[in-house]
């Protein structure tokens, strides 16, 4: 029985529906896919396709994957903890904490608030427009921000929503400036260890592999599969470098949404959203996305895409947490992955 309290037939039905949805997802062209569903602290997995094209093996149990922009929710949580501690003010300009860092080409840190960074309403250009995702070399956060500052501001702060990884590189730099410790250290101390996320980590500087059992991540170049599992994720940094499992990601979002990581006032700020085209009908808060699902449940999460891996999911108000991972980004769209999330959330 799922979680010990759900009728056995219901558990079987959900597993069947999720399994079929994963098979359909793999038919879209991605090598493999895995779903992890968690309720009342108990998790189960379903997988389809190959986690390793060389051996044909499926995703391993409790597979560690690069979770990409789910990192942003960890970073935003730490920033909001610092807000709760009185060390950061949400509506203060980022220039107060990082003087002179955001400057040039219409980018002005004296007019962009911490809230606008976390909410993606800063107008700052994405450094990836300049650099592209380059896992072949190491980047320092300041280097990524400097690349962004060579580009023109996209709009007046607070007037629009537009996803920009630069916002979260700056949020990571803010954490380091205020605490004296790296975002990796603070995320580990404040979130990973207290929640017992034993398969979650922020890669060490220059670390290119994935620790523990993991699928291979792929890209397609000129119609051929290229293994891109090993890369230096410093180009993603506080915007996307972390590694985790579906089980741990589910546990994190469940803990966050039930108030275990933030006081009520800061969690409420995190859930204040603006319309965002990250998913159809979605709203973006402070590193947290309100995700529409077909059955009308309230669902919050994030998602991430990094060469080799795409993850989508979140947790519903009634406590079902879902994480779906595919091991190739380009073959299948986010919408295809979200269909599996929707099935896992709405099936009963």
**Beta partners for residue 299, in sequence order:** 316
Tokens of 240: 């996307």
Tokens of 286: 């402070």
- 52 φ, ψ to 5°? -145, 110
Tokens of 33: 């896919």
Find out whether 120 and 167 touch, Cβ atoms under 8 Å.
Answer: yes
Identified catalytic residue from 69, 153, 244, 305: 69
Among candidates 287, 296, 284, 309, which has minimal Cα distance to 342?
296
Centroid of chain to Cα 234:
15
Beta-sheet strands, E only, within the chain: 32-39, 42-49, 65-66, 103-104, 107-108, 218-221, 224-227, 243-244, 274-276, 282-284, 289-290, 299-301, 304-306, 309-316, 320-326
Tokens of 8: 């056995």
Tokens of 26: 């793999």
Q: How far apart are alpha carbons 323 and 250 in whole angstroms?
A: 7
Active site residue 69: yes
Q: How far apart are alpha carbons 253 and 309 in whole angstroms?
A: 19
Active site residues per annotation: 69
């Amino acid at each position: 029985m799922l979680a010990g309290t759900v009728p056995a037939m219901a558990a079987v039905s959900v597993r069947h529906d999720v399994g079929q949805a994963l098979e359909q997802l793999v038919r879209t062209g991605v090598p493999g896919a895995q779903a992890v569903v968690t309720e009342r602290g108990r998790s189960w997995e379903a997988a389809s396709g190959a986690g390793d094209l060389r051996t044909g093996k499926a995703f391993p149990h409790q597979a560690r994957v690069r979770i990409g922009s789910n990192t942003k929710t960890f970073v935003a949580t730490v920033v909001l903890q610092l807000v709760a501690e009185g060390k950061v003010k949400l509506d203060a300009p980022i220039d107060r904490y990082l003087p002179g860092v955001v400057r040039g080409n219409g980018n002005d840190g004296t007019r962009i608030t911490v809230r606008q960074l976390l909410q993606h309403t800063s107008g700052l250009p994405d450094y990836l427009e300049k650099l592209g995702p380059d896992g072949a070399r190491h980047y320092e956060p300041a280097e990524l921000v400097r690349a962004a500052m060579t580009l023109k501001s996209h709009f007046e702060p607070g007037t629009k929503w537009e996803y920009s990884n630069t916002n979260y590189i700056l949020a990571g730099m803010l954490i380091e400036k205020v605490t004296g410790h790296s975002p990796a250290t603070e995320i580990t101390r404040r979130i990973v260890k207290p929640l017992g996320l034993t398969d979650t980590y922020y890669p060490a500087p220059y670390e290119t592999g994935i620790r523990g059992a993991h699928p291979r991540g792929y890209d397609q170049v000129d119609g051929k599969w290229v293994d891109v599992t090993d890369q230096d994720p410093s180009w993603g940094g506080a915007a996307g470098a972390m590694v985790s499992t579906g089980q741990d990601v589910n546990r994190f979002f469940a803990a966050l949404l039930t108030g275990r990581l933030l006081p009520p006032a800061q969690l409420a700020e995190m859930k204040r959203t603006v319309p965002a085209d990250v998913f159809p009908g979605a709203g973006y808060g402070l590193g947290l996305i309100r995700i529409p699902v077909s059955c009308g449940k309230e669902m919050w999460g994030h998602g991430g895409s990094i060469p080799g891996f795409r993850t989508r999911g979140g947790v519903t108000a009634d406590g079902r947490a879902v994480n779906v991972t595919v091991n190739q980004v380009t073959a299948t769209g986010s919408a295809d992955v979200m269909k599996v999330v929707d099935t896992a959330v709405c099936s009963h």
